[in-house]
Amino acid sequence: MKNILFEKLNRNHKVFSLLIAEAAAVIGIVCMFVLAAGSAAKAADVPLLDLPTAGAGAVIENYVGATGESSTELLSTTALGAQLTEVNEYYDATGNIVGKRIIYNGSGDLLIYDKIPGNERVEKGDSLAVLQGKMEPGTAATVIKESGLWYQIVADGLTGYVKKEGFLTGKDAEANAGLMNKNVAVTTADETWIMDGPGLDTTVICALPANVVLNLLEAGDEFSRVEIPGLGEGWISNGEATLTTIRKTAVTPEEDAAFRGRIAEGIEWGAQIETRLQEEAQGRARSYALAQIAPAEPDSDDVAALRQAVANYAQQFVGILPYVWGESDLTYGVDCSGFTSAIYREYGYSIPRSSDAQAYGGMSVSLDDLRPGDIIAYPGHVAMYISGTTVVHAAGDGTMVDYGDLYMMPIINAVRYIN
């Protein structure tokens, strides 16, 4: 397995400082926000992993309905409680529903209500049915009562009513106990990247903290495909996730909303990371390109050739050297006077550093007698003359060295340093 931290730090050959904390990340417990599956058929496309399970009963015989002792107490208070055995039989000797374990196998999520919708007697003060949670296909429950077209169930601490359609019962439920489990990827890094392809050189589409559970669609050697609400799917590095199998559980609206909110935040976070990575990659590419620029050699030993060489050299930085106030580094950034002084420095000329000083540091010349390399002084700004009415300059924040018009501002003076 590749060192995922090293790989992320070196994406686009640029160190991303926010990732340092991941070196200390540890695998935590699975968080409660379990992503609801799209359908049982889709989950079945991925063979269950031969890995340790996280709280999953491998067979339905080990599943009693809701988790914890409180569920046993709840069941014992029902009219059928006296008939429920310790192991909670599927059905009684006559085939009637008595604490029967069932598995939801319909299409889409099944909603759980606190009462049967449509049976409320509003005129007598009854409140409307309230959504208690939902079950994804493959979620198991224990029936404690049958009411017409509805079951009253207990599932993972939730008690409520669900429609009967789409359930496997009795021997069918027992034979299909494997539907209760699903493959997931549990994030383990404090900043886990979800990419749009199987590689860290692809686009970051989401970023999640540790202990977020995602449905696993495809397990790979180094990267695995996971389900992301709102995006469809993405790829996660196996170095930042634990691939395992867990039991499907009923989810409350609060849990579902919290999970989807975390994903929405992660999508925004991922966009910010990708933007930063792109900017850093562009900056590194720019730095590399700048480092390759060498001073232009004069065509001859005369002064005119030297002036032209200076002007030619300055033009090589157009579009790739950023404006940085107070700087005069041709491999990093420059301000207006930093640019002109740095260009001259490469040819052995030490000219004043500030724009005001440059405006009067050389020999003043007429605008009718301008030559390549001359310095054009404006109010608080300088540029280098190229030819005609064209100058090159570092204009200001957020710009790159670029061409400009000779008369873009009132001209204070024109100065020549190569005589």
Separation of alpha carbons 318 and 311, rounded Å: 12
Task: Count the alpha carbons within 13 Å of 242 in the hemisphere toward its beta carbon.
Answer: 21
- The three-state secondary structure class of 315 is helix
Confidence of residue 144 (pLDDT cuts 50, 70, 90): confident
> Model-level pTM greater than 0.85?
no
Confidence of residue 289 (pLDDT cuts 50, 70, 90): confident
CA-wise closest residue to 226 among 38, 12, 28, 24:
38
The single-letter DSSP state of residue 46 is S
State which H helix or E strand residue 278 sits in.
Answer: helix 253-291
Identity of residue 395: A
Given this model, what pLDDT does residue 158 score?
A: 85
Can you give the C-alpha Rg of the chain in angstroms? 35
pLDDT over 70, % of the chain: 75
Separation of alpha carbons 341 and 415, rounded Å: 13
Kindly report the number of other CB atoms within 10 A of residue 410's CB atom.
7
- What CATH number does the domain located at 303-416 have? 3.90.1720.10
Given this model, what pLDDT does residue 280 score?
A: 83
Q: Mean of the per-residue pLDDT values for the chain?
A: 79
**Does the structure show a pLDDT above 70 at 183?**
yes
Looking at domain 55-179, its CATH class is mainly beta
**Does the structure show a pLDDT above 70 at 381?**
yes
Question: What average pLDDT score do residues 170-196 get?
Answer: 90
With both helix axes pointing from N to C terminus, report the angle between 303-315 and 336-345 in degrees, rounded to the nearest 10. Answer: 130
**Does the structure show a pLDDT above 80 at 368?**
yes
Question: What average pLDDT score do residues 277-288 get?
Answer: 81
Separation of alpha carbons 36 and 34, rounded Å: 6
**Does the structure show a pLDDT above 90 at 3?**
no
The single-letter DSSP state of residue 331 is T
Segments of 74-139 assigned E as strands = 101-104, 110-113, 131-135
| Angle value at C-alpha 282, between 279 and 285, nearest 5 degrees | 150
Please list the residue range(s) of the chain that carry CATH number 2.30.30.40: 4-51+180-279, 55-179
**Does the structure show a pLDDT above 60 at 302?**
yes
More confident residue, 29 or 121: 121
**Please, which residues have CB within 8 angstroms of residue 357's CB and are 6 or more apart in sequence?**
337
In degrees and rounded to multiples of 5, residue 307 shows phi and psi of -60, -45
More confident residue, 42 or 397: 397
Given this model, what pLDDT does residue 62 score?
A: 34
**Does the structure show a pLDDT above 80 at 237?**
yes
Which of 69-83, 161-175, 316-330 has the highest mean predicted lDDT (pLDDT)? 316-330
More confident residue, 56 or 4: 4
Question: What average pLDDT score do residues 227-246 get?
Answer: 94
**Does the structure show a pLDDT above 50 at 321?**
yes
Q: Could you report the per-residue pLDDT of 185-201, keeping only the tens digit for each?
A: 999 999 999 999 999 88
**Please, which residues have CB within 8 angstroms of residue 331's CB and are 6 or more apart in sequence?**
287, 290, 291
Separation of alpha carbons 71 and 148, rounded Å: 24
Question: What average pLDDT score do residues 52-76 get?
Answer: 35
Please list the residue range(s) of the chain that carry CATH number 3.90.1720.10: 303-416
**Please, which residues have CB within 8 angstroms of residue 389's CB and are 6 or more apart in sequence?**
405, 406, 407
Confidence of residue 282 (pLDDT cuts 50, 70, 90): confident
Separation of alpha carbons 324 and 339, rounded Å: 10
More confident residue, 31 or 361: 361
What's the CATH architecture for 4-51+180-279? Roll (2.30)
